[in-house]
A and B are shown apart, each in its own frame.
Chain A
Amino acid sequence: MSVFEIIRFAIRGLFTNRLRTALTTLGIMIGVASVIILLAVGNGSSKAIQASLDRLGTNSLQVRSGGGGFGPRARASASSQKPLTILDTVALADKTQAPDIKQVAPIVSTNGTCVVGANTSTPSTFYGTWPAYYEASNTSIQKGSYFTNDDVTNARRVALIGQTTATALFGTSNPIGQTMRCSGIEFTVIGLTSVKGASGFQDGDSLVLIPITTMENTITGNQALSSILVEATKSTTTTAAQSELTTILDARHGITGRKTADFSVFNQASLLTTASTSSQTFTTLLGMVAAISLLVGGIGITNIMLVTVIERTREIGIRKAIGAPKAAILTQFLIEATILSLLGGALGVVAGLIGSHFTIAGTKPVIVPASVFLAFGVSILIGVFFGGYPASRAASLRPIEALRYE
């Protein structure tokens, strides 16, 4: 008897038991589709968190003066503290000692008010820095141009401003090329930064950036840096970059233990870790729900298969009594189970892929390719096992036992 013939028998078997076929297929389909969709939702939400963190600049570190402590004790040791300097900044840019640091930008921060005619604005961020700052802080411009290293070297009085500041000072007119007076000094606006949005309580677009040399020469005088912005080579090397910069600054400031440290490091990556851990937990939870639905689907299949096993065992008995070899019977029932689970699995994948196009619970699902293969594979295993196992047991019986089976 040819395999082709046995496949025909299997297909005929599926058609003669339509309800069973439909229910089993449906069970597998729901299981597979829910695994794919639920995991896609979990993945989508963690992708969304990742994306918003990326926008913040996750591979940047900020070094600030002062130890980790707060209050009187931190103040008491203030006299022994060394400030952060440009030399510290230059030391951190050393590629051999700090291979995981991409670039470094010094920041001198001040509070000042800018005036244009009758309009005034007090930017929440008023920094003197140099061009490495743009990339390290994810700052780009929507209009005009950046100030350059040349502007820094010559301490030119040029400024980049954020959208909020621009609107407050210049209204709807184009700020590029116009002048403004900040802390009594006149600056030419050469660039308007792209909108960043608010992060926390701060308006990221209430911003004035000027060359660090200009800031020191005209506004703050030669003084210590407020902070140093450090950009790691990748988001995954942030931790390594942090330990490198700590080693370098410890050596330069003569620090022996963390308690006496006169600087502290703020790490965006640790924020990322926390956020992605919680989104992973979420995904795991959804994955468990999905696995349970696959299991329930599997139990449904098993149930249907077992309910029909009495009828099928009798049928197998009849087939054996009229001369069917065990192999033919086994192959037929295995093919039946395989077709069922392939069909159910394929429909489930289609349903899952379609379902993942809709926004679910405010999340745009992103399909995890592995989940498609996993769900499909597991459904086929379940189908073939629970379809094939009772059949193989029945096929091993002597015909008379199979015929008497109840």
Chain B
Amino acid sequence: MAQAEAVDSVVDKQPVIEVRDAVKRYGVGDASIFALDGVSLTIEAGEYVAIMGPSGSGKSTLMNILGALDIMTSGKYFLDGIEISSMDENHLSIVRGRKIGFIFQSFNLIPRTTALANVELPMAYQGIKPKERRARAMVALDVVGLGDRINHEPTELSGGQQQRVAVARALATRPALLLADEPTGALDSKSTADLLDLFDQINAAGRTVVVITHEDDVAHRAKRIIRMRDGKIISDKLNEERVA
């Protein structure tokens, strides 16, 4: 019951993500490289997408742009129908807080701060009242199975547990979009399986999930698999096993 509340569904008819001709270029002149070289992509609400591809193919670059953490050199990006690519930093910070939950490979928890405080932080920046955000943080930590470790600091948690705190932090704001850049990269197989079960649950509750991964078994949990190479999308297929 608590879980259902935490992963409260946001189903929308509009595409959650629409990217047109995204280009990201690093460097200038001859030395410049195109990390993204004309990527167009539409992801509907409630989809579960895995992005795969060799190292350096531009997956993280794409993900950072989708998460509004980075800006593109040219192209357009609409999130929930709102154009993000032309927004300034101040508005972007609001978008990041309200619409997006981002999970990093390296967890990125605030050091020397308890799991509970870490999960509460994005809600604090959104102006949610302390009482409510505490309750929501507790529920989110319960969902990821860390209800008994809310007062532990990151250094007192295992890698898998830290990543679950990061997931709870991303979930607690009830974002329309959950982005994860190699979330299982630093985890063992047991923690990986737990995390993937969690993603299934989150997606089942109607949230859009986008995961970057190198691992086939991670990708095969998704309903759609996008492959990239040299900054371009080379294939975009539904996952037959999952979409029955």
Q: Which one, B94-102, B192-200, B201-209, B236-244, is touching chain A?
A: B94-102
With A318-B108, A398-B69, A400-B64 in contact, do A324 and B125 touch (Cβ < 8 Å)? yes
Q: Which A residues are CB-close (under 8 A) to B173?
A: 323
With A1-B127, A399-B69, A400-B69 in contact, do A324 and B112 touch (Cβ < 8 Å)? no
Establish whether residues B69 and A315, one from each chain, have CB atoms under 8 Å apart when the complex forms.
no
Q: Which residue of A lies closest to B128 (CB)?
A: A1
Q: Does B218 lie at the interface of the complex (its beta carbon under 8 Å from any beta carbon of A)?
A: no
- Complex: how many Å from CA A9 to CA B117? 10
Q: Which A residues are CB-close (under 8 A) to B122?
A: 322-323
Q: Does A256 lie at the interface of the complex (its beta carbon under 8 Å from any beta carbon of B)?
A: no
Q: Does A353 lie at the interface of the complex (its beta carbon under 8 Å from any beta carbon of B)?
A: no
Establish whether residues A326 and B125, one from each chain, have CB atoms under 8 Å apart when the complex forms.
no
With A17-B112, A318-B108, A324-B125 in contact, do A398 and B94 touch (Cβ < 8 Å)? no
Q: Does B188 lie at the interface of the complex (its beta carbon under 8 Å from any beta carbon of A)?
A: no
With A16-B112, A399-B69 in contact, do A322 and B94 touch (Cβ < 8 Å)? no
Q: Which A residues are CB-close (under 8 A) to B235?
A: none
- Complex: how many Å from CA A16 to CA B127? 23
Q: Which A residues are CB-close (under 8 A) to B102?
A: 321-322
Q: Which B residues are CB-close (under 8 A) to A318?
A: 108-110
With A1-B124, A318-B109, A318-B110 in contact, do A325 and B70 touch (Cβ < 8 Å)? no
Establish whether residues A315 and B89, one from each chain, have CB atoms under 8 Å apart when the complex forms.
no
Across the interface, A320 reaches (CB within 8 A) one of B64, B93, B169, namely B93
Q: Which A residues are CB-close (under 8 A) to B98?
A: 323
- Complex: how many Å from CA A398 to CA B88? 11
Q: How many residues of A contact B (CB 8 A)?
A: 27
| Mask of B105-137 contacts with A, CB within 8 angstroms, 1/0 | 000111111000100011011110010000000
- Complex: how many Å from CA A323 to CA B99? 10
| Mask of A366-402 contacts with B, CB within 8 angstroms, 1/0 | 0000000000000000000000000000001011100
Q: How many residues of B contact A (CB 8 A)?
A: 30
Establish whether residues B93 and A324, one from each chain, have CB atoms under 8 Å apart when the complex forms.
yes
* Shortest distance from the beta carbon of A335 to any chain B beta carbon, whole Å: 15
Q: Does B71 lie at the interface of the complex (its beta carbon under 8 Å from any beta carbon of A)?
A: yes
- Complex: how many Å from CA A317 to CA B90? 14
Residues of chain A from 16 to 69 with CB closer than 8 A to chain B in the complex: 16-17
Q: Which B residues are CB-close (under 8 A) to A325?
A: 90, 93-94, 125
With A1-B124, A315-B111, A400-B64 in contact, do A321 and B69 touch (Cβ < 8 Å)? yes
* Shortest distance from the beta carbon of A308 to any chain B beta carbon, whole Å: 11
- Complex: how many Å from CA A320 to CA B125? 10
Establish whether residues B93 and A326, one from each chain, have CB atoms under 8 Å apart when the complex forms.
yes
* Shortest distance from the beta carbon of A21 to any chain B beta carbon, whole Å: 12
Q: Which residue of B lies closest to A395 (CB)?
A: B89
Q: Which B residues are CB-close (under 8 A) to A249?
A: none
| Mask of B29-52 contacts with A, CB within 8 angstroms, 1/0 | 000000000000000000000000
- Complex: how many Å from CA A322 to CA B173? 10
Q: Which residue of B lies closest to A317 (CB)?
A: B108
Q: Which A residues are CB-close (under 8 A) to B111?
A: 16, 311, 315
Q: Which A residues are CB-close (under 8 A) to B70?
A: 398-400
Q: Which B residues are CB-close (under 8 A) to A311?
A: 111
Q: Does B183 lie at the interface of the complex (its beta carbon under 8 Å from any beta carbon of A)?
A: no
Q: Which residue of A lies closest to B95 (CB)?
A: A323
Q: Which residue of A lies closest to B70 (CB)?
A: A400
Q: Which B residues are CB-close (under 8 A) to A323?
A: 93-94, 96-98, 122, 125-126, 173
- Complex: how many Å from CA A16 to CA B102? 25
Q: Does B67 lie at the interface of the complex (its beta carbon under 8 Å from any beta carbon of A)?
A: yes
- Complex: how many Å from CA A48 to CA B64? 70
Q: Does A294 lie at the interface of the complex (its beta carbon under 8 Å from any beta carbon of B)?
A: no
Central interface residue in B67, B90, B96, B113, by most chain A CB within 10 Å: B96
Q: Does A319 lie at the interface of the complex (its beta carbon under 8 Å from any beta carbon of B)?
A: yes
- Complex: how many Å from CA A321 to CA B97? 8
- Complex: how many Å from CA A397 to CA B89? 9
Q: Which A residues are CB-close (under 8 A) to B113?
A: 12, 16
- Complex: how many Å from CA A351 to CA B91? 47
Q: Does A94 lie at the interface of the complex (its beta carbon under 8 Å from any beta carbon of B)?
A: no
* Shortest distance from the beta carbon of B80 to any chain A beta carbon, whole Å: 15
Q: Which A residues are CB-close (under 8 A) to B64?
A: 400
- Complex: how many Å from CA A361 to CA B71? 64
B residues bordering A, Cβ < 8 Å? 64, 67, 69-71, 89-90, 93-94, 96-98, 102, 104, 108-113, 117, 121-122, 124-127, 130, 169, 173
A315-B110, A321-B108 known; 16 other A-B pairs, CB under 8 Å? A1-B125, A5-B124, A12-B117, A17-B112, A319-B121, A320-B93, A322-B96, A322-B97, A322-B121, A322-B122, A323-B93, A323-B94, A323-B98, A323-B173, A324-B121, A326-B89
- A-B contact list, 19 entries, CB within 8 Å: A1-B126, A12-B113, A12-B117, A16-B111, A311-B111, A318-B109, A319-B121, A320-B93, A323-B97, A323-B98, A323-B125, A323-B173, A325-B125, A326-B89, A398-B69, A398-B70, A398-B71, A399-B70, A400-B69
